[in-house]
Structure 1
Amino acid sequence: MALRTSTTERQRRLGAELRKLREEAGYSVTEGGEFIGMARAHLGHVEAGRTAIPPEKLRTLCRAYRCTREPLIEALVAMGEDSGKGWWTEYRHAVAPAALDLAELEAAADALLSYESLFIPGILQIADYTRSIFRSSQSERSEYDLDKAVRFRMERQRILAQEQPPTLHAVIHEAALHVRFGGAAVMRRQLLHLIRMAELPHVTIQVLPFTAEGLSAFSTPFLFAVSHKSALETVLVENPAASHYVHERDAVLRYRTRFDRLRAASLPPVDPGVPASSHESRDSLALIQHLLYSLQED
């Protein structure tokens, strides 16, 4: 039994879901292993994400745990069969494991719901804006490592150009549009890029204005990865010190409600296809265009 020296978020999630089913059924690790002829230590490694489990053993285990939710069982099987390999694999020695987990999460999602309070969402950034953010951080990077990190973030955006892209709904706090990473010229190009990205039929961008009331508790950025396998939907809660994933169903639903409230409090979406004369005086596009004008004046 070969053990993984490092585990991905997907592998840890699969193990955690199996452990949750076992504990809900009231079985010990030893008893769980007996259902599929697996030693206690071996099943322990499966639950920790350190080793794989064959699909049929996984199905047998779920049924032994009295799980009758076939969609959940098949979603777990699919998660276990996923190789986890993608374009991000070539960056495994160049970026942090958390960044690789994020790329894999985005690639597997059917839809992405993003809220950012101080930055443009990574999947919508231009290279110079990203570079400026990395340079302003406390971490010291060589130019080589910096280039790799910037290139990786740009590569993440490829999912929006693929044949069957996920939908992206981004709510961006107005504050993020005022912070000039890279200076006025870079910020102007970044705002123009937002408008261009909003032209894509599967991309929706809204701005949460400073005037929005009663939402101070919702300032923590997060990314909700929507999946047709609703039992395995995931939320990434971003934090400068250490971001973390939320899997527990009730907590996930709370973040969905939180996003809906943020969306409702935001200005109408950016829609470059609507003639300027038809735009409301206070919508997301009008606000971005106003900021573009102020940047041009500087």
Structure 2
Amino acid sequence: MRSPTGRQLRFGAELRKLRERAGLSATEAGQLLGIKQAQVSNMEAGRVGVSPERVRAIACHYDCPDKALVEAIATMTGDRKRGWWEQYREILPAPLLDLAELEHHARALRDSTTARIPGLLQTREYALEIFRQAVTELSPPDIEHRLSFRIKRQAILFRDDNPTPYEAIVHEAALRMKVGGPTVARQQLQHLLDMSDRDHVTLRAITFDVGAYPGSGQSIYYARGPVPQLDTVQLDQSHGVAFLDAEAQLHKYRTLFDRIEAVALSPETTRALIHNVMREM
């Protein structure tokens, strides 16, 4: 049996939260649902498929009053087909595949970075230089796999039908850093300008003049789900990728993003800043 994907694990975790809010143990839930405790555990571990109808029935037995949440959880199951990212399984770390899956299903994305251009807005040449500078040196095949994976992730911004709304807040330091040299850096800045012309892409910058601000020095990625309880925060940490979904954590990072946005330039002023940086290179 294949290990559950990040989305399947999240689905199981949400079923567990419904049960715990009802004050039921797994054994008690099994008795209520007429199934074995092991089946409850397998559902909550994301190891087995559950139909949307079964999700609604479980929520009814658990006396869950939040119909919007129940319907949102129901959309997470039923179809257990795996996406394009599966071709990279056992080639790239599993959390990267979970990230692509998260982006694919997100209703909207918010991204805040300090020292680098966000991955969804990177050019091939810029990303290549980033991978070449990895602390653990990557082999040429590894670099090529990571590069192609990053470019494929960007497809959500180019879909003809319903591209994902995306907001990026980038510090001036990332705009001025000559990653790959002046030519690559200028091409990257032009790509930012081109992407910011798209209706579903919002680009804002934070200037050096702002000084310290909430969340400075930390890259934060916020994926909005169909209801706020199903949002997800992704953080890059020294030991790898971390995903957060506790309600208190989601509230914290929603508030943090709003405060970051409050000190950022408008999209129009951001474009003017990028033009100035390009002229100074």
- TM-score category (smaller protein): over 0.9
TM-score, length of structure 1 as denominator length:
0.88
- Matched to 1:259, the amino acid is F
Matches within 5 A, 1:1-298: 4-162=1-159, 163-215=161-213, 217-269=215-267, 271=268, 283-295=269-281
CA contact (8 A) 2:117 2:174 kept: yes
Which has the larger displacement, 160-169 or 47-56?
47-56
More off after superposition, 122-131 vs 245-254? 245-254
CA RMSD across the alignment: 1.7
- In structure 2, C-alpha distance between the alignment counterparts of 1:214 and 1:131, rounded to whole Å: 30
Deviations 1:88-139 (Å, cap 9, x if unpaired)? 2222233221111111111111211110111111000001111111111122
Equivalent position amino acid for 1:206 in 2: R
8 Å CA contact retained: 1:84, 1:104: no
* TM-score after normalising by structure 2: 0.93
Q: 1:15 to 1:198 in 2, by over 3 A?
A: same
Contact 1:206 / 1:268 at 8 angstroms: preserved in 2?
Answer: yes
* Secondary structure at 1:243 match in 2: strand
Q: Is the 8 A contact 1:220 1:239 kept in 2?
A: no
Superposed CA deviations along residues 29-64 of structure 1, whole A, max 9, x for unmatched, are 111122223221222122122222233332222122
Structure 2, unaligned runs of 5 or more: none
Give the Å deviation of 1:84.
Answer: 4.9
Kindly state the Cα deviation for residue 217 of structure 1 after the two structures are TM-superposed: 4.3
Preserved contact between residue 11 and residue 76 of structure 2 (Cα < 8 Å): yes
Residue 214 of structure 1 and its aligned partner are, at CA, apart by: 4.4
Give the whole-Å Cα distance in 1 for the aligned partners of 2:236 and 2:79. 25
CA drift at 1:259: 1.1
Q: Secondary structure at the match of 2:75?
A: helix
